[in-house]
């Protein structure tokens, strides 16, 4: 499989994921270091837009010439999982590449917080509704919330496992865990930007010292690019050997 990483001069060391590293779950500190190595402090909003649009987060340039049906718990089970979860996965990737990128480019901390917001807890009155309040709770969740997107990605990865977990499932779920780490980091940065949290949390910004707007902006961009690479890692593994009857998942560009 050939990968082509498009990059600008200041992003020549962009974080194109290595096949030997796919599927491994990294610690927050490792993820931060990897992201820092990928980005050389975009100096302006224009730089960030150019970086995220041209880099393409290591989009694969070629597909397998002769894809074979993936091993799963029967074609019927895979079909049901694809029909159930693929719309949420595809919509999540589009939201990440468009809406979330724009929010981060603008340093819109309130918007980022809402984009990653989990649905509210179920209330007693929800039980009186025809759908037990599922629709209303879903509308209250963010476009890239764990419940809306990452749970679906995790469950779809399990469709490629039968009696024992397969390497394909492990790699896909490993990418999901990286995305969860990124989401947690972005939630922390957004909370700091809104004055709801002090620095020195998960990613240790400033060791307790209040981070400056420039530091928060830089951190958000680093996390966004790390998450984009993790997302495309998931997409690559999901598409690999996927039966021809299924549409391929699009990469974040």
Q: What is the reported pLDDT for 99?
A: 98
pLDDT-based confidence at 90, cuts 50/70/90? Answer: very high
- Other CB atoms within 10 Å distance of the CB of residue 158: 16
pLDDT-based confidence at 110, cuts 50/70/90? Answer: very high
Residue 7 in any domain: the answer is no
Whether 109 has a pLDDT exceeding 90, the answer reads yes
Residue 6 in any domain: the answer is no
Q: Is 158 within 8 Å of 172 (Cβ atoms)?
A: no
- Rounded (10°) CA dihedral 87, 92, 97, 100: 150
The C-alpha atoms of residue 43 and residue 40 are separated, in whole angstroms, by 9
Residue 110 in any domain: the answer is yes
Residue 37 in any domain: the answer is yes
Looking at 9-13, 34-38, 170-174, 212-216, which range is the least confident one? 9-13
Mean pLDDT of the chain: 77
- Other CB atoms within 10 Å distance of the CB of residue 251: 19
What value does the mean pLDDT take over residues 28-32?
55
Cα R_g (the chain), whole angstroms: 19
Q: What is the reported pLDDT for 5?
A: 38
Q: What is the reported pLDDT for 38?
A: 47
Residue 10 in any domain: the answer is no
Residue 173 in any domain: the answer is yes
Condensed to tens digits (0 to 9), the pLDDT of residues 200-241 reads 654 554 456 789 999 999 999 999 999 999 999 999 999 999
The C-alpha atoms of residue 55 and residue 52 are separated, in whole angstroms, by 5
Condensed to tens digits (0 to 9), the pLDDT of residues 37-49 reads 544 445 566 666 5
Give 70-137 as a 3 state SS string: CCCCCHHHHHHHHHHHHHHHHHHHHHHHHHHHHHHHCCCHHHHHHHCCCCCCCCHHHHHCCCCCHHHH
The C-alpha atoms of residue 208 and residue 195 are separated, in whole angstroms, by 13
Domain that holds residue 83: 23-56+66-239
Q: What is the reported pLDDT for 17?
A: 34
Residue 233 in any domain: the answer is yes
Residue 221 in any domain: the answer is yes
Q: What is the reported pLDDT for 129?
A: 75
Which has the higher per-residue pLDDT, 105 or 11? 105
Domain count along the chain? 1
């Amino acid at each position: 499989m050939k990968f082509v990483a498009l990059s600008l001069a200041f992003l020549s060391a962009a974080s194109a994921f290595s096949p030997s590293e796919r599927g491994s779950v990294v610690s927050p500190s490792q993820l931060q270091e990897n992201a820092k190595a990928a980005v050389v402090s975009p100096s302006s909003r224009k730089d960030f837009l150019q970086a995220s649009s041209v880099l393409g987060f290591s989009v694969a340039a070629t597909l397998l010439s002769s894809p074979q049906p993936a091993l799963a718990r029967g074609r019927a089970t895979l079909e049901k999982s694809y029909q159930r979860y693929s719309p949420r996965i595809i919509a999540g990737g589009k939201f990440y590449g468009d809406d979330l990128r724009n929010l981060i480019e603008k340093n819109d901390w309130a918007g980022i917080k809402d984009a990653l917001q989990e649905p509210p807890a179920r209330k007693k009155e929800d039980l009186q509704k025809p759908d037990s309040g599922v629709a209303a709770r879903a509308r209250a969740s963010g476009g890239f919330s764990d419940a809306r997107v990452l749970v679906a990605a995790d469950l779809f990865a399990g469709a490629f496992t039968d009696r024992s977990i397969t390497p394909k499932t492990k790699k896909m779920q490993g990418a999901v865990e990286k995305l969860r780490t990124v989401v947690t980091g972005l939630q922390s940065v957004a909370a700091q930007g809104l004055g709801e949290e002090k620095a020195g949390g998960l990613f240790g910004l400033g060791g307790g010292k209040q981070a400056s707007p420039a530091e928060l902006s830089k951190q958000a961009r680093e996390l966004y690019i790390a998450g984009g690479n993790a997302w495309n890692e998931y997409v690559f593994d999901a598409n690999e050997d996927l039966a021809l009857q299924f549409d391929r998942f699009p990469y974040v560009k």
